Amino acid sequence: MKRLYMCFLIMLFVPFMLGMGSMTGDDSPDRIPVTEKKFSAIFVDQMDVVTMCTDVSIEGKTFVEGVKGKGTYTIPFEEIKSVRFFLKGGELKGFILLKNNNRDELILNKDYKVYGRTNSGTFQIGISGLKTMRMGE
């Protein structure tokens, strides 16, 4: 009976102990994804706060990914001048101005995070919390 009681206690506490490891995981605010290519950008959020960043990425990637029609498109940061974000009815649209002055529009994943480094630390924001992203020169 004692063994059964111990086994029950172990089975009860193991999931809680395993879950505690996620508290110190990679989503820490002082860590941002490291990318091979380095980009800078100026972000304006929904409250008109301007943030200048280096080491910019979206979900650790250096391109904007979205859907147009039935296809999934990726546009590398190298080709982007700016992106305006517009959330309406649960759908996040990205209006993209390319460096060659062409324009594109994609439906973006509103759950993605944007990462960067500022003069005073790191920067993280949900992509749906942004108004604009202007890529550095």
Does 122 reside within a domain? yes
What would the pLDDT profile of 76-98 be if each residue is shown by its tens digit?
Answer: 999 999 999 999 888 999 999 99
Does 54 reside within a domain? yes
What would the pLDDT profile of 4-26 be if each residue is shown by its tens digit?
Answer: 555 554 555 545 544 544 444 45
Domain that includes residue 54, residue range:
41-135
Does 63 reside within a domain? yes
Does 13 reside within a domain? no
Burial call 71-107: b when 16+ CB within 10 Å, e when fewer = eeeebebeebeebbbebeeeebbbebbeeeeeebebe
Does 26 reside within a domain? no
Does 57 reside within a domain? yes
CA atoms within 13 A on the CB side of 124: 13
Does 31 reside within a domain? no
Provide the whole-model pTM: 0.77
Does 3 reside within a domain? no
Number of domains in the chain: 1
